[in-house]
Structure formats: C-alpha cells, structure tokens
Homo-oligomer: A and B are copies of this chain.
C-alpha cells in the first residue's frame, strides 16, 4: 500500500493532463465518489480551501463586505425573470421536482449561482438610499450539470464565494466591480504566488445578464490559460427585471445598480498547474496547510524523536509544522513531503543533534541548507517568506516568457501551433472575427487587458481597423 504513493507520477512534459490527475490523486487532494461528476475534497485538499477562504474573507471584510447565507434552491419562476440569465443557466441546472413524498407545484433548481435569489432578497430588503450600499457575500457550493468533469477545474458541484452588491449609482457599482477584481488579483499574486492578467471579457465571453465582465487570467505550466476569477457589473438590468428600487434623497424612486464576483475551488487547480513539477505538488507557504515537515533520521535512536518534538514546539511559533514519526523510511517520507508540496523539510538525526544543527530542504528549488538549531526559527520564517516571493517570481518569469506578440495572422497561427502561451494581438471588436479565430485555431479571447498596447493598427485576423489589444489563448 504505502509504496504506491512514491511510485513516480507521469512526467508533465509527457502528458500534462495525466500528470495533473496523478498529482491530485497522489497528493491525496480529492477522491472519487459514486455520484458521477462529483468529488470528495479530502483533508489535504480541503485544508488548502480553508486557507484560501480565511485569507480572502479577511480581504473582503477589510473592504466592508458582510457575509450572508441564501437558500440553495431557486424556484423556476425566479430563475426566469432575467432573460439573458435564464438562457445562460437553464440548460445546465439540476432540478428538484419532489419534496418529501409530494411532487412540487413549482420545480426548484439547485443554485448554479445566486443572482436571482439576491435580487429577490434585495427587492424585499431595500427601500431607501439609507439601505445602500449592500455589500454581501456568501460561501457555499453550487451545482452545474457539466458533461465533462475534472477535479477542481470542472465538476458538477464546486465550492465558491459569490459576492452580490447593490448601489445607488452606476459609478459606485463600477468602482466596486473593479475593486473586487483588484482584490482577487492581489490575492492571487500575494497568497497563491500566481501572477494574473487583468482585463475585460468581450461581449461574447461575458456573463449571462452582465453589462460588463472583468476577469483575471493566469497561465498554466503547459501554456494554457485559466480564467481564475470574475467580477461583473450588472448595471440596473437585474434591478429592472426584479423591481429592486429605492427612494433617493430627492424622493425619487430609482433602480439600484448591481455587481457580482466570485472565485472557486478552481484556484486549487491553478496552484497545481502553475507551481507543480514531476515530484508533485508545490504549495506556496501561505496556502500550505503544513509549511514545515520535520523528518527524524534514525528515529529509533535515543533522543531523536524527543528532539524532533522539541523543534516542532519551537517552530510552531512561526509556522504550521508537523513531525512525521511514522515507521516509513526517511526516503519515503521525503518523497511524500515533495508529493504533497510541503514548502520546507527539516531533517534531524543523531549526528545533527551532536552538532546542534539540522538540514533544511526547500521544496521549490531543492536547495539544502545546514542550519544551526539556535537559528532555526528565524531561518525557517525567513525561508518561508523567500519561497513565497521566489515562487511568484518563477511563475511570473514563466508567464512572461510564454507571452507572445502576433503582428499578423501568420504569426498568430505559428504561435498557437508551436508556442503554447498567451498571444497578444489586435482585434477589430467583431464577434464574427472572434468566432472565426476560435474555429480556426482553438484560441479564445481571454480578455481585453487594462494595460493596452498598440501592436499594429489593424485586426490580426480580418485586417480591418483594430479597436483593442486582446490576450488570446487556449484555455481550460
């Protein structure tokens, strides 16, 4: 049994998709279930989500967000109130038709997202400008009946947060939309060590019912893009459909302006595919449930386990730390630490104890350091910071070296075929061109980045005058 875990996994260069599945399974993040398309988040996987939740929630609250909880079921009539929204979601929802022993008069869908419920709630709860803004968020699970599923990336149920806000003015809604996109981008960089491109989705790619959708796009190790978080400005479209109105200071009845924004357990997929390597998962310290694993060497010798425990107690002041005192071999334990992505491994044996030192090994670089036990706490704290920064820089370097510029169609096709990564190119703004590019190459518009450049003045595909520089890419 035990040996299974250290069997080599598929190399990422050989078969990236299989490598991904191997890491998910061997790092013990998820399990399969008897419910098709649904997964179990095992302790090692769920603990990463808990760290994401905690740190993101703190950032939300610092901007005035309050958490709430709304029903998991949506009556069909409510879902249908906003035309674009129901068209976008109806084909992929699960329907509850029976409650208890009776057939329901109106069927209920398991929430695929909660815009309609929040609108219904706001319609009841908002009457005056004094009630605004509402800046609410919920942590929950949602269901979308996907045909093809992959752990974290696409599953029929996933965990997420969905923020839903209501504002007095269009300006304030737009400001909140961008503010939350920036919270996401900052979180990805600072906590997940994943650099992202911020920008706006095209008309074709925007959310069902939104006026504008903004996105953060990350580049995976294999050169494919992953949409990692979105923030939507709804204008007053939902408010019109649901009658969400308030009496303003001038005593006029007005519609509110709304936003929504969300990230999901998909971020765990991003962590795996941005940082991982052929030895397994590589966790940035800030989302590593265990940041330091102490591995005793010759642990049956007198004093070794005691010393390991002493180090654990000391290090627990500066890090999340564990001792692996199981009866597996040190080599096995090393491999397991690597597979599970633990940022630092501390090795301590009889000779180390004699010399008042230990060996510290970085997961990100493999570097081995001999550290005096008197300096261990300071050194571990420092190394965790360094690893966090270095992992972001490594990811940024990979992203930048896999971001290409296509001045014309020949270049575009060559890049798509031969150089997996982001492609920056000019675009005329027409959906027809966008669709043709996708049909011909498989590359989709990832976003119109906030940081625009003028590569040429014509569309890379049709040659008509260009309106925007766009990031293209093949995507998950």
Q: When the two chains form their complex, are residues A120 and B75 in contact, meaning their CB atoms are under 8 A apart?
A: no
Which residue of the partner chain B has the closest CB to A39? B71
Chain B's nearest CB lies how many Å from the CB of A27? 15
Are A97 and B97 also in contact (CB < 8 A) when A33-B121, A127-B1, A157-B71 are? yes
A166 at the interface (CB under 8 A from B): no
- Which of B1, B43, B74, B91 has a CB less than 8 Å from the CB of A101? B91
Q: Which of B69, B78, B141 contacts A41 (CB 8 A)?
A: B69
Task: Among B34, B47, B96, point to the contact of A110 (Cβ < 8 A).
Answer: B96
Q: Which residue of B lies closest to A32 (CB)?
A: B124
Indicate if the CB atoms of B91 and A94 lie closer than 8 Å. Answer: no
Interface residue A83 (Cβ < 8 Å from any Cβ of B): no
**Quick check: B96 and A31 within 8 Å, CB to CB?**
no
Tell whether A62 is near chain B: CB-to-CB under 8 Å: no
**B97 and A93 contacting across the interface, CB-CB below 8 Å:** no
Residues in B neighbouring A46, C-beta threshold 8 A: 66-69
Which of chain B's residues have a CB closer than 8 A to the CB of A33? 70-71, 117, 120-121
Nearest residue, chain B, Cβ from A97: B97
Q: Tell me the complex Cα distance, A42–B120, Å.
A: 14
Among B38, B72, B141, point to the contact of A157 (Cβ < 8 A): B72
When the two chains form the complex, which single residue of B38, B91, B125, B140 contacts A71, counting CB atoms closer than 8 Å? Answer: B38
A125 to B2, CA, bound (A): 13
Given contacts A1-B127, A125-B31, contact A68 B94 (CB under 8 A): no
- Chain A: how many interface residues by the 8 Å CB criterion? 58
Copies of this polypeptide in the complex: 2
A462, CB-defined interface residue at 8 Å:
no
Decide yes or no whether A108 CB sits under 8 A from chain B: yes
Instruction: Specify which chain B residues have a CB less than 8 angstroms from the CB of A93 in the assembled complex.
Output: 100
Cβ of A204 < 8 Å from any Cβ of B? no
Which residues from 347 to 366 on chain A have a C-beta closer than 8 Å to any C-beta of chain B?
none
Q: State A120–B39 Cα separation when bound (angstroms).
A: 12
**Chain B hits for A49, CB < 8 A:** 69
Within 39-75 of A, Cβ neighbours of B (below 8 Å) are at 39-43, 46-47, 49-50, 66-75
Given A94-B96, A100-B92, A117-B33, also A40-B72 (CB < 8 A): no
Q: Is the CB of B1 within 8 A of A143?
A: no
Q: Which residues of B contact A110 (CB under 8 A)?
A: 72, 96, 110
A205 to chain B, nearest CB (A): 21
Residues on the B chain within 8 Å of A34, using CB: 75, 78, 120
A86 to B145 alpha-carbon distance, docked (Å): 26
Q: CA separation between A75 and B36, bound complex, in Å?
A: 10
> Which A229-246 residues have C-beta < 8 A from chain B?
none
Given contacts A46-B68, A96-B110, A145-B99, is CB(A121)–CB(B40) below 8 Å? yes
Q: Are A67 and B50 in contact (CB under 8 A)?
A: yes
Interface contacts beyond A33-B70, A100-B147: sample of 11 additional A-B pairs, CB < 8 Å, sorted by A: A2-B130, A33-B117, A34-B78, A38-B71, A41-B69, A42-B68, A43-B67, A43-B68, A93-B100, A95-B97, A110-B110
26 pairs, CB–CB < 8 Å, chain A vs chain B: A1-B128, A1-B130, A33-B71, A33-B121, A34-B120, A38-B71, A38-B73, A40-B68, A40-B69, A41-B70, A42-B68, A43-B67, A43-B136, A46-B66, A46-B68, A71-B157, A72-B157, A73-B157, A93-B100, A94-B99, A94-B100, A94-B108, A95-B96, A95-B97, A95-B99, A100-B145
Q: Report which A residues bind B (CB closer than 8 A).
A: 1-2, 31-35, 38-43, 46-47, 49-50, 66-75, 78, 91-101, 108, 110, 117, 120-121, 124-125, 127-128, 130, 136, 140-141, 143, 145, 147, 156-157, 159
